[in-house]
């Protein structure tokens, strides 16, 4: 690799930043671990949203700006439907809705724009975002809704022998992490072992070649968007149970963009790793770096988390645009 040192420098800076609060003794180890875990949990959420992005981009080359809104849409569907039926039924109905949504998007948006450049498709998904935003609020309402998964909400104290005072951990967070892991494992199996999965990988490699061996492109895209919809649903349910969901051009939903930048647009592993890095990074920055900056520059409060992920992504774009696990793109004349 020609320009290795900026990547190394960036990585080193991040690791140093990560270790500083512990090394300087500025924070109790127990608290540090709590913040770390909190960041990891947020990171899991980001990873799930980014997973949907990566799937769609991998299989259809489309950058789905609307992924975050789809997560919210799915979450709100479950939340509102669960008011009238048992949770498992609500989830099934919501899944059906997401599949229908996938079909509609493929038919009305993707197919007519099939040969356009990425930026055009990005803007089209921007349009889809706005449409879903308005439509979702009309259908599901604008307030904050919570999803009750039936898991106990009180945090549990663990490892009080190792760390003074122990660490508070949320049971729900554990469940979320496990669900996410199962989902990822399932997706990996799906892509590697099933015929449909192989077809999806073929399409990601070369649309025309895949078509020429008889893979039905349109159906593949519906499948991919449905899978992404399913991932969005899982992400939405977890989100809804932890934080409550409300329609908004949500920063959290957009946060998945820096995640795929870090991880590489076409990599599932990258979406996971990128999400965790961003989740931890911004939590750490907010909790430990924030107060330092506030004191140094006499700021009116923190809020570093609002931009940390994007600036990190920007730095990554300048030194390693293909992300940690993505593929390099060569421009030919």
Partner 1 sequence: MFYRENGQFKSSYASDQQMLPILQDRVFMLGLLAFAFIAVPFLASDYLFLSILIPFLILTLAAIGLNLLVGYCGQISIGHAAFMAVGAYAAYNLVLRLPQLNFLVVLVLAGLIAAAAGILFGIPSLRIKGLYLAVATLAAQFFMDWLFARVKWFTGYSSSGSVSTATIEMLGWKIDTPARKYVFLLGVLVVFTLVAKNLVRSHIGRAWMAMRDMDVAAEIIGIRPVYAKLTAFAVSAFYVGVAGALWGFVYLGAWEPLAFNLSLSLNLLFMIIIGGMGSLLGSYFGAAFIVVLPIFLDQVPAMLGVPIPTALNSHLQSMIFGALIVFFLIVEPQGLARLWAIGKEKLRLWPFPH
Say which residues have a Cβ less than 8 Å from residue 126's Cβ, sequence separation at least 6.
65, 66
Q: Shortest Cβ distance from residue 249 to partner 1 (Å)?
A: 6
User: DSSP labels for 96-154?
Assistant: HHHHHHHHHHIIIIITTTTTS-HHHHHHHHHHHHHHHHHHHHHHH-SS-B----S---S
DSSP 8-state secondary structure symbol assigned to residue 245 = B
* CB closer to partner 1 out of 64 and 241: 64
User: DSSP labels for 192-223?
Assistant: HHSHHHHHHHHHHH-HHHHHHTT--HHHHHHH
DSSP 8-state secondary structure symbol assigned to residue 321 = T
Q: Shortest Cβ distance from residue 316 to partner 1 (Å)?
A: 10
* CB closer to partner 1 out of 196 and 218: 218
Q: Shortest Cβ distance from residue 147 to partner 1 (Å)?
A: 22
The footprint of partner 1 (CB under 8 A) covers 63, 108-109, 112-113, 116-120, 122-124, 126-135, 137-138, 142, 249, 251, 254, 257-258, 261, 265, 297-304, 306-307, 310-311, 313-314, 317-318, 321, 331, 333
* CB closer to partner 1 out of 200 and 261: 261
* CB closer to partner 1 out of 125 and 241: 125
Q: Shortest Cβ distance from residue 67 to partner 1 (Å)?
A: 13
Q: Shortest Cβ distance from residue 107 to partner 1 (Å)?
A: 12
Q: How far apart are CA 193 and CA 205, in angstroms?
A: 17
Q: Which tokens in the block code for residue 149? A: 């998964």
Q: How far apart are CA 13 and CA 237, in angstroms?
A: 35
Distance of CA 231 to the CA centre of its chain: 10
* CB closer to partner 1 out of 51 and 313: 313
* CB closer to partner 1 out of 110 and 237: 110
Exposure string (b/e) for 64-73, b if CB count within 10 Å is 16 or more? bbbbbbbbbb
Check: CB of residue 279 under 8 Å from CB of residue 295. no
Q: Which of 184, 319, 322, 314 is nearest to 258 (CA)?
A: 314
CA pseudo-torsion sign 83, 85, 91, 94: negative
Q: Shortest Cβ distance from residue 321 to partner 1 (Å)?
A: 5
* CB closer to partner 1 out of 184 and 262: 262
* CB closer to partner 1 out of 162 and 249: 249
Q: Shortest Cβ distance from residue 283 to partner 1 (Å)?
A: 16
Q: Which of 45, 16, 18, 12 is nearest to 287 (CA)?
A: 18
Q: Shortest Cβ distance from residue 132 to partner 1 (Å)?
A: 7
């Amino acid at each position: 690799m020609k320009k290795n040192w900026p990547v190394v420098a960036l990585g080193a800076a991040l690791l140093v930043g990560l270790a500083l609060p512990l090394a300087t003794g500025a924070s109790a180890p127990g608290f540090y671990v709590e913040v770390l875990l909190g960041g990891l949990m947020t990171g899991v959420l980001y990873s799930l949203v980014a997973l949907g992005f990566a799937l769609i981009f991998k299989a259809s080359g489309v950058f789905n700006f609307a992924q975050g809104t789809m997560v919210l849409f799915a979450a709100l569907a479950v939340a509102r439907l669960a008011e009238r039926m048992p949770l498992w039924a609500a989830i099934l109905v919501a899944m059906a809705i997401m599949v229908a949504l996938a079909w509609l998007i493929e038919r009305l948006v993707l197919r007519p724009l099939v040969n356009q450049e990425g930026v055009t498709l990005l803007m089209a998904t921007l349009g889809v975002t706005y449409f879903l935003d308005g439509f979702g609020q009309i259908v599901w309402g604008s307030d904050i809704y919570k999803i009750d998964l039936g898991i106990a909400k009180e945090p549990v104290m663990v490892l009080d022998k190792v760390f003074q005072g122990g660490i508070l951990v949320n049971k729900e967070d554990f469940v979320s992490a496990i669900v996410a892991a199962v989902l990822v494992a399932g997706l990996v199996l799906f892509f590697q072992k099933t015929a449909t999965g192989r077809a999806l990988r073929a399409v990601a490699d070369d649309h025309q070649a895949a078509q020429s061996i008889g893979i039905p492109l349109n159906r593949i895209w519906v499948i991919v968007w449905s899978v992404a919809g399913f991932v969005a649903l899982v992400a939405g349910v977890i989100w809804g149970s932890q934080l409550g969901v409300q329609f908004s051009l949500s920063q959290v939903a957009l946060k998945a963009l820096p995640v795929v930048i870090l991880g590489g647009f076409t990599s599932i592993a990258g979406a996971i790793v990128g999400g965790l890095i961003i989740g931890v990074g911004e939590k750490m920055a907010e909790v430990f770096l924030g107060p330092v900056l506030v004191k140094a520059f006499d700021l009116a409060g923190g809020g570093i988390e609002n931009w940390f992920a994007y600036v990190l992504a920007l730095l990554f774009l300048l030194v390693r645009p293909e992300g940690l696990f993505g593929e390099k793109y060569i421009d030919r004349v």
